[in-house]
Amino acid sequence: MFHSVRIVPLCVAVLLAGVSFGCGGKEESGKSASQVAVKVNKEEISVHQVNDLLSRSGRIPQDQIKNAMAAAVERLINQELLVQQAKDGKLDRDPRVLQMIEFSRREILARAYGERLVSTTPRPTDAQISAFYDANPAMFAKRRIYSLQEINITASPEQFEEIRVRLQSGGSLQQIMDWLKSKNIQFVVNAAVKPAEQLHSEVLKNLANMNPGQAFATRTPTGAVLVSVAGVREEPVDRAKAKPAIENHLLSQAKNERMQQEIKRLRESAAIEYVGDFVPPPADAAAVPAQEQQAAPDEKPKSKEDAFRSAIEQGAANLRR
C-alpha cells in the first residue's frame, strides 16, 4: 500500500500562486498571494475553486500532487468555457435549467444538514466491535470463500407450480437447465467467487452449512433463483484484522440510525398535508379470508409467496443429497 497525503488547501494555494515561501512560512515578497489560478476570457478561476475540486479527490500520493493540480485546473478551464457558452445562450434563464439548479440546491442543503447532524456520532467501543465479531462467525472466525453457480429463472405465476414440482424431483443442475430449455422457460446462468461478507445475509444463512454440490432455491420478483455451491474454502479473519472494517460498519450504521431518527422526529413535528392524487391510499384493511380467521391464535397463515418459497426450498433440498 502506498503512502499518501491529503492535500492541504493552503499548501496548494501557495504552489498555484507561485509564491516563494512554504506552508506555514513567512512571506518574503511582502505582497499577498494572488487568489487567481487562471483567467478564461474575462472570467477568473480562483485558487479556492481548484482547492475545492482537489479536496473531492480524497487522498493523493505525494508524488502526484502537481499533476493532480494541473489536471484540476484544466478541468475547471473546460467547465468555465462551457459555462460561458451556456450564459451566452441564455440557458441560465431557461425554466428547466433553473429547476435543476433549485433541485441541486435543495439536495446540497439537505446533505449539509445531515453531515453536520451525524458528525458528532461517537465511534463504536472496543466492546461493541468485539461483540459484532463474535455475533458474525460466518464473516470472520469461520469465514468462507464460495464458488457459486446461479440459475436465475424468469417465470410467470402460472409456471411457478411446474417449476416447484420439477425441483422436487431432484437431479443435477445440467438436467434442470435442460428441462427449463425444453419448457421454453428463460433463465440465465452466472458463476461467481464471493467471500461471505459480499453475500446477502439470507443467502449467507443458507450457505453457512452447505458443502460443494449442494444447493438452495428461493423465489424472486420475476421468478426464482437456484444457487449451487461449486466449491468452498475456509479463509478466516482474526479479530485484529477485522477491527477497522467492523468499526467503520458500526459507525456508518449508527450515523444512518441517527439520521432516520431525526427524519422521524421532523416528520412527527411537521404539518404534512397530501393534496389531490398525492394522498396515499389507506392502510390495507382488506377482509381476512375465512380460512385464515380460523387459524389457531399462535399460528400465522402463510402468504402465497411464503408457501411457494417453502415448497421450492424443499424441492431444491433434493440436490443436497
Domain spans, the chain: 4-93, 142-238+311-320
153 strand-pairing partners: 187, 224
Please tell me the predicted confidence (pLDDT) of residue 45: 94
Give pLDDT, residue 284.
60
Q: What's the distance, Cα to Cα, between the start and end of the chain in Å?
A: 45
What string of pLDDT tens digits covers the 321 residues of the chain? Answer: 333 334 344 344 434 434 333 344 444 443 345 799 999 999 999 999 999 999 888 888 888 989 999 999 999 999 999 999 999 999 999 999 999 999 999 999 999 999 999 999 999 999 999 999 999 998 899 998 989 988 889 988 778 778 777 877 777 778 888 988 998 889 999 898 988 888 887 788 778 777 787 777 777 888 888 888 888 899 999 999 999 999 999 999 999 999 999 999 999 999 999 999 999 988 764 444 444 444 444 444 444 444 444 444 444 444 444
Beta strands, E only, the chain: 4-5, 36-40, 43-46, 60-61, 144-154, 186-195, 215-220, 223-234
CB 255 within 8 A of CB 111: no
Task: Name which of 52, 46, 41 is nearest 17 in CA terms.
Answer: 46
Asked if residue 9 lies in contact with residue 55, where contact means CB atoms within 8 angstroms, the answer is yes
Per-residue confidence (pLDDT) for residue 127, from 0 to 100: 97
Is the CB of residue 18 less than 8 Å from the CB of residue 66? no
Distance separating alpha carbons of residues 114 and 100, to the nearest angstrom: 21
- The torsion region of residue 58 among left (phi > 0), alpha (psi -120 to 50) and beta comes to left
∠85-88-91 over CA atoms, to 5°?
Answer: 85
Cα 201 versus chain centre, distance: 15
∠ CA 305-311-313, rounded to 5° = 100
∠133-139-241 over CA atoms, to 5°? 60
201 within 8 A of 302, measured Cβ to Cβ: no
How many Cα atoms occupy the beta-carbon half-sphere of 37 within 13 Å? 24
- pLDDT value of residue 292: 45
CATH T-level topology, domain 142-238+311-320: Chitinase A; domain 3 (3.10.50)
